[in-house]
Structure 1
Amino acid sequence: MPSHFTEVQQQFMAHIRDPNHNKKPINIEERRMAIYRDLFFNNVEGFVSSAFPVLKSLYTKSGWQNLIRLFFSQHNCKSPYFLDIAGEFLEFLATSYSKQSTDPDFMLELAHYEWVELDVSVAQAQEHEAALQTNQVTNAGLLLSCLARNLSYTYPVHTISKGYQPESPLTEPCYFVVYRDSDDEVQFLSTNAMTALLLSIIEAQPGINLNLLCQEVARHAPQFSQEQLYQGALNTLSAMAERGVIVTKS
């Protein structure tokens, strides 16, 4: 049987999360309860707003508050850390949120694009990864850095603003690599379909070498000769190695 203290805790948190549907514990005065309600909600709203400034700008103040309130009251966060709140909000949008007529169709893609900057900024470097020199690309085992993300979107997420909200997807996806450079600054690099394919194969087959990589690419792009694929992949991966997007095993 739960203790009285446990019951009060559960009532307290249920009221904090959703005060409209859960009564406060009877022994806590309203003034103090209001302080707790505002403190918890405002902290969460602040972290989400700082992580998704463009998405927030597309909503009225009340519309944004309502969205955060739904997240706050409905989503069960898996992490206790404030730093993870943005990722939890993205998961909420992707898995349990019912899109409203006032939400843009590109909502989830834009949210992901904004979140990935935070994700890369706090990613932990891995000891098994070593910098890849450009003259090593031809022979080394290739890895996508743990500090890099290979991304594609059907909307031009990098251009969306309050003044520009596309109504339909692009005819071709837009591709990006988001990575943390040697100065620990997050960089956004626009790429293309072939670069995205190269990186996706490397990500799926860590340690693959250039020759095997080109054979894999040839299955998707049979219109190119092996020599064309090899030279194109070498040039692209050399540039990615210089940026630290591609690494090798230490």
Structure 2
Amino acid sequence: MAVDFKTTQSRFAAYIRDPDSNPPPVDVESRRMAMYRELFFNNIDSFIASNFPVLRTILSDGQWLELTQDFYARHRCDTPYFSEIAEEFLAYLQNERSNPDDYPFLLELAHYEWVEMALSIAKEAPALGDGDFLEKLLRQRIALSPLAWPLLYRYPVQAIGPGFLPLEAPEQPTCLIVYRDELDQVHFLKTTGLTIRLLQILQDQGAMSGEACLQAVAAEFPQIDLQALMTNGFTILRELAEKGILIPATDA
């Protein structure tokens, strides 16, 4: 009986995922199987649509249905949590999706939309700097907040919508910092490649003084006047610290 139940369960799940490629279990009424299929799929479809509203808006009903059905049939989720299905959808787009008719920015747009949800539910609660921290940024060790992500996109994902669907990437990438503030609001800040590189250095190398961070940036961009970089760099560091993007480094 255990073998029979497991076989039935496998057939049931396979049909629910992809009824066009798998026969229904012989001992379950077809009307009931159709109801199960609709119930399960609609839950996933609705959840993905709510997490990727721009993506849903720019696709026709037929395009969206093809996309979500393909995800539902092909991708094997590694998590039982609904809050992580959006990340599974990203993994599907990056590793399994292969449709030449898709918009070239599809993955980047989906990632951009996922970031907001991911940061909104992140559990970290970093300690922000006070006034003394802001004044002494160059001399003390600073770190990138775990609730601040420097991001580079080939496409201007923040501008994409029904009225703007670029088919070719511009020459310059889009540089964004996505961060959650002390009121737990998620913000998207458009910035420069230089600032993104500054944050990447902190992300890759860990905490260091503000001065050391600016010197590391200067070493990578020797064409920039060092004095100007140090002067303007302090202003950038302070603005980022005021937003909670840069925080005091801990000993951990």
TM-score by length of 2: 0.93
1:52–1:114 contact (8 Å) kept in structure 2? yes
| 3-state secondary structure, aligned to 1:130 | coil
Q: Distance in 1 between matches of 2:26 and 2:244?
A: 58
> In structure 2, what residue type is equivalent to 1:123?
A
1:109–1:153 contact (8 Å) kept in structure 2? yes
2:210–2:237 contact (8 Å) kept in structure 1? no
The answer to whether 1:138 aligns with 2:138 is yes
| 3-state secondary structure, aligned to 2:214 | helix
- What is the deviation of 1:2? 6.6
- What is the deviation of 1:80? 0.8
2:175–2:192 contact (8 Å) kept in structure 1? yes
Alignment-derived partner of residue 176 in structure 1:
176
Q: Distance in 2 between matches of 1:227 and 1:15?
A: 66
> In structure 2, what residue type is equivalent to 1:208?
M
Q: Distance in 2 between matches of 1:186 and 1:87?
A: 18
Runs of 5+ consecutive residues of structure 1 not aligned to the other structure: none
| 3-state secondary structure, aligned to 1:123 | coil
> In structure 2, what residue type is equivalent to 1:18?
D
Alignment-derived partner of residue 106 in structure 2:
107
- What is the deviation of 1:211? 2.4
Runs of 5+ consecutive residues of structure 2 not aligned to the other structure: none
Q: Distance in 1 between matches of 2:163 and 2:7?
A: 49
Q: Distance in 1 between matches of 2:16 and 2:51?
A: 23
Mapping of residues 119-130 of structure 1, within 5 Å = 119-126=118-125, 129-130=126-127
- What is the deviation of 1:34? 1.4
Mapping of residues 60-99 of structure 1, within 5 Å = 60-99=60-99
Q: Distance in 2 between matches of 1:98 and 1:5?
A: 35
User: Which string of whole-angstrom CA distances, capped at 9 and with x for unpartnered residues, describes residues 51-76 of structure 1?
Assistant: 11111122210111011000001011
CA RMSD, 1 decimal: 1.6
- What is the deviation of 1:158? 1.0
- What is the deviation of 1:175? 0.8
Alignment-derived partner of residue 24 in structure 1:
24
User: Which string of whole-angstrom CA distances, capped at 9 and with x for unpartnered residues, describes residues 189-228 of structure 1?
Assistant: 1111111111111111111222221221112210223322
Q: Distance in 2 between matches of 1:201 and 1:54?
A: 32
Q: Single out whichever of 78-87 and 227-236 deviates more from structure 2.
A: 227-236
Distance 1:34 1:138, change over 3 A: same
| 3-state secondary structure, aligned to 1:36 | helix
Mapping of residues 126-205 of structure 1, within 5 Å = 126=125, 129-132=126-129, 133-205=133-205
> In structure 1, what residue type is equivalent to 2:104?
D
2:58–2:162 contact (8 Å) kept in structure 1? yes
Alignment-derived partner of residue 118 in structure 1:
117
Q: Distance in 2 between matches of 1:178 and 1:139?
A: 26
Q: Distance in 1 between matches of 2:12 and 2:140?
A: 57
How many pairs does the alignment contain?
247
TM-score by length of 1: 0.94
Percent of aligned pairs sharing the same letter: 39
1:130–1:249 contact (8 Å) kept in structure 2? no
Alignment-derived partner of residue 248 in structure 2:
248
Moved over 3 A (4+): none
Alignment-derived partner of residue 223 in structure 2:
223
